[in-house]
Structure 1
Amino acid sequence: MTNPMLPRAGEMLHLRGNALEKGDPVALPLVQSSMYHLPGTWQGERSYGRVDNPTWEQLEHVLSHLEQAPCLSFPSGMAAIAAALFATVRAGARLLIPSDGYYVTRRLSDRFLANLGVEVVERPTTAFDRGGFDGFDVVFLESPSNPGLDMVDLADVAKQVRAAGGVTIADNTTLTPLGQRPLDLGIDVVVSSDTKSMGGHSDALMGHVATRNEKILEAVKEWRTFSGCIPGPQEAWLLHRGIETLDVRFDRMCSSAQIIAERLVDHPEVQKVRYPGLQGDPAHMLAVQQTHRFGFLISLTLASAEKADSFINSCPLLRPATSFGGVHSSAERRARWGDDVAPGFVRLSVGCEPVEELWAAMDAALG
């Protein structure tokens, strides 16, 4: 599928440059200040470090360009998710979340939102629309799901929820704006953990919220200001730098993941492989319709926890780590965190290594 974001990715690299004055630095300056010079009467200038920061503003300009919607940055993906939820739910509201999505979203909902009078309902991704959406104020989606890589029809759910009077929030961390466009499919709010492939270098915790709904945007901004849940300028600067290579990194990672997934299917040590780019994958047809790339995450199941640990820990080109989306390929056995998966289930994040070198190392470790 032709990716309509590629021209925007090129334009993104020059967003700042085309607005520079003679003698301005080409690289984004890092503004590390909690105060601004404010003599006289305040007339809308930057006021305080918890409210305004020039480095954030340039980062959000780039994020908004990619999302084609206003964006606000946050100090982590969960901070972005929390802001989106606290801006849209209220006491007495009903919230629907995926039972097989990122477990911290479920913990936030069960342990905090439920205590504030929000009714939390869970459904698996593959049956997410079963029972309809009447009576739900907010519907939170994750497609592909993490870590199982099941998918849901975002456009269909968005249409149904809107007709029922609710709001949709989609976590697009795994595919980024280059791989999937939830807002264009009718979703109201997108959240992302930019700690992952958006930043790409595993050196900064960041996240963002994007929405074309002005009322929700204002509520999210107020939540950030009043809660103090703000990103640090250094992290914003690192994310801005990382995004400049997102197109190149994401292309390499997705292309390599397709090759590796196809080889894993035929490997005698692998019992099961999930990757939306595989023709036989349960999510393949929906992924073809809904996404521009199939992503860089692969799930594979080995015979036991011991075999999974041996594979991960003995492969010199895999980092055993609990995040994903970095330039270094990484993997982890998700059952150790309590996910409802087989003991030998491995979430593999394909990085930017040359694919043949990476495959040779993985093949040897599997053997």
Structure 2
Amino acid sequence: MNKGTELIHNGHETDPLTGALGVTIYQTSTFLRKDISKGPGSQEFDYSRGGHPTRQALEEIIATLEGGAKGYAFGSGMAAISSVLGLLSAGDHVIAAEEVYGGSIFILNNFYKRMGIETTLVDSGNPANIRAAIRPNTRALYLETPSNPLLKITDLAACLAIAREAGLLSIVDNTFMTPYLQQPIKLGADIVVHSATKFLGGHSDVVLGLAVTRTEELGEKLHVVQNSFGAIPGPWDEWLVIRGIKTLKVRLETQQSSAQQIAEWLLTHKNVSNVYYPGLSGHPGREIHQGQASGPGAMLSFKTKTVEQALRFYEKVQLAAAAPSLGGVETIASRPVTMSNIATSAADRERLGITDTLIRLAIGLEGAEDLIADFDQALA
């Protein structure tokens, strides 16, 4: 089935009870126990922390779209990531790409470090670095591609093959690409995570996270964590993401078309020194990206020639909100050094190229020509 069609026809087109063209919001926390002599698990829905009809619909939808066995929804993207990492035990070692989302690095190097879990950050652009970092106690590999915020490309098939060979749990953050453009499970990932707050929700009006497992067995283990931690979303937020997914194709196609035009224009600007976008012919790893994803996406970054030019851009830009987050209908201009990567040390930011001159753009649905004119005056 065409991916765009699957966003609409995913097994939850109508409410089976009434025929309504959409999933029902069940604003309930508990359910009638039909046989009081039996304990939890004796019926499909019992208490909403363990399972809920609206959440179940969303979880089945994302599992279908990612090509996985089981899907799970959480109260935020970080709740999803933290719950997946909750599958690990004290004494385990994690290898993570050094440019995964800053919040993920923070929780690995702080909260889970206190739980006795070690982390090694590597440049995943070279799969050999992953193999070299494997220890006897290594249990998981955590990747994100394109990376945040420099859009570095990781060869998923090559890296995931190394993880499989070593018996590691492989986790891929697919927030930037969404299952419409990239499906890591089909490339060998065990678990895919999303901040559905971003492109899947698509309207900057919900905070929610998702995870999809390759197998039923792994899914049952993650469900134990979900039910135990209880970091679940509410039914209204679940419904908003279900609604957002239906328009993902038209939003993302328009956004990445504009991103391509803007990236090409930025290359010509006298005050811009670097542009990072997988759709550009000179972008490192572009061929690998084209082999594992069906489009370059709607995220791009660029560097101004001076810090003053970057700060002035945030002050003068009118059609882009200077804010954290991404993936909404409005264009957002983020400053990675004080937003997404603030938890990264200054020395590591400098080493990675995440400088004070770096601006990250999440392109929205405004006209590309209007955004270019606005960016031009902000960069003047």
TM-score bucket of the superposed structures, by smaller chain: over 0.9
Residue 30 (structure 2) pairs with residue 31 (structure 1) = no
CA distance in 2, matches of 1:98, 1:178: 23
Do the aligned residues in 1 keep the contact of 2:327 with 2:363 (CA within 8 Å)? yes
Distance 1:131 1:191, change over 3 A: closer
Write the letter of the residue equivalent to 2:264: E
Q: What is the Cα deviation at residue 188 of structure 1? A: 1.0
Report the counterpart of residue 374 of structure 2 in structure 1. 361
> Bigger shift: 319-328 or 134-143?
134-143
Q: CA deviation at 1:4?
A: 5.2
- 2:129 aligns to what SS in structure 1? coil
Structure 1: distance between partners of 2:256 and 2:169: 31
Contact 2:124 2:130 in 1 (8 A): no
Tell me how far apart the structure 1 counterparts of residues 110 and 230 of structure 2 sit (CA, whole Å): 21
Amino acid across the alignment from 1:289: G
Structure 1 residue 126: Cα displacement: 2.7
Tell me, what secondary structure is at the counterpart of 1:46?
coil
Give the C-alpha shift of residue 65 in structure 1: 2.0
Per-residue CA deviations over 1:141-180 (Å, capped at 9, x if unaligned) read 0111111110111111111111111111000111000111
Provide Cα deviations, 1:280-310, integer angstroms capped at 9, x if missing partner.
1112121111111101111100123332122
Write the mapping of 1:164-313 to structure 2, written as runs, cut at 5 A.
164-313=166-315
In the TM superposition, what whole-angstrom CA distance separates every residue of 1:79-137 from its partner, at most 9, and x where no partner exists? 111111111x2111110112222111111111121222212111123345325154321
Partner of 2:55: 56
CA contact (8 A) 1:134 1:161 kept: no
User: What is the rounded CA distance, in whole Å, between the counterparts of 1:131 and 1:319 in structure 2?
Assistant: 37
Task: Give the percent of matched residue pairs that are identical in Structure 1 and Structure 2.
Answer: 33
**Structure 2 CA distance, aligned partners of 1:302 and 1:198?**
30
Q: Distance in 2 between matches of 1:18 and 1:330?
A: 34
**Is the partner of 2:376 in helix, strand or coil?**
helix
* Contact kept in structure 1, 2:15 and 2:22, CA below 8 Å: no
Q: What one-letter code is carried by the residue in structure 2 that aligns with 1:76?
A: S
The answer to whether structure 1 residue 46 and structure 2 residue 45 are counterparts is yes
In structure 1, which of residues 321, 324, 337 is the aligned counterpart of residue 323 of structure 2? 321
List alignment gaps of at least 5 residues for structure 2. Answer: none
Q: Which range is displaced more, 61-70 or 344-353?
A: 61-70
Q: Give the distance between the partners of 2:281 and 2:262, measured in 1 at CA.
A: 14
Rate the CA distance shift 1:4–1:184 in 2: closer, same or farther, 3 A.
farther
Amino acid in the other structure paired with 1:350: I
**Residue in 2 aligned with 1:8?**
6
Matches of 2:13 and 2:93, distance apart in 1: 46
CA distance in 2, matches of 1:125, 1:200: 29
In the aligned structure 2, how far is the partner of 1:131 from the partner of 1:38? 50
- Residue number in structure 2 paired with 1:352: 365
Letter of the aligned partner of 1:33 in structure 2?
Answer: T
**1:120-199 alignment, distance < 5 Å:** 120-127=119-126, 129-130=128-129, 132=131, 134-135=134-135, 136-199=138-201
The CA RMSD over aligned residues, in Å, is 1.7
1:5 counterpart letter in structure 2: K
Inter-partner Cα distance in structure 2 for 1:134 and 1:321 = 37
With over 3 angstroms needed to count, the CA separation of the structure-2 counterparts of 1:10 and 1:224, relative to structure 1, is: closer
Tell me how far apart the structure 1 counterparts of residues 372 and 101 of structure 2 sit (CA, whole Å).
Answer: 28
1:39 Cα shift?
A: 3.9
In 2, Cα distance between equivalents of 1:116 and 1:311: 42
| Equivalent pair of 1:305/1:343 in contact (CA under 8 Å) | yes
Q: TM-score with structure 1 length normalisation?
A: 0.94
The one-letter code matched in structure 2 to 1:80 is: A
- Report what 2:82 is aligned to: 82
Q: Secondary structure at the match of 1:126?
A: coil
CA apart distance, 1:257: 0.6
Q: Distance in 1 between matches of 2:165 and 2:216?
A: 19
SS at match of 1:298: strand
1:267 alignment partner AA: H
Length-normalised TM-score, structure 2:
0.91
Amino acid at match of 1:75: G
Question: Is the Cα–Cα contact under 8 Å of residues 125 and 150 in structure 1 kept in the other structure?
Answer: no
Aligned length: 361
What corresponds to 1:93 in structure 2? Answer: 92
Contact 2:95–2:134 (CA under 8 A) maintained in structure 1: no
1:268 CA drift (Å)? 0.9
Q: Give the Å deviation of 1:77.
A: 0.6
CA distance in 2, matches of 1:45, 1:160: 38
3-state SS, counterpart of residue 204 of structure 1? coil
Matched, 1:118 2:120: no
Is the 1:328–1:352 contact (alpha carbons within 8 Å) kept by the matching residues of 2?
yes
Q: Deviations over 1:307-349 (max 9, x none)?
A: 2122123221101111011100011121224351111100011
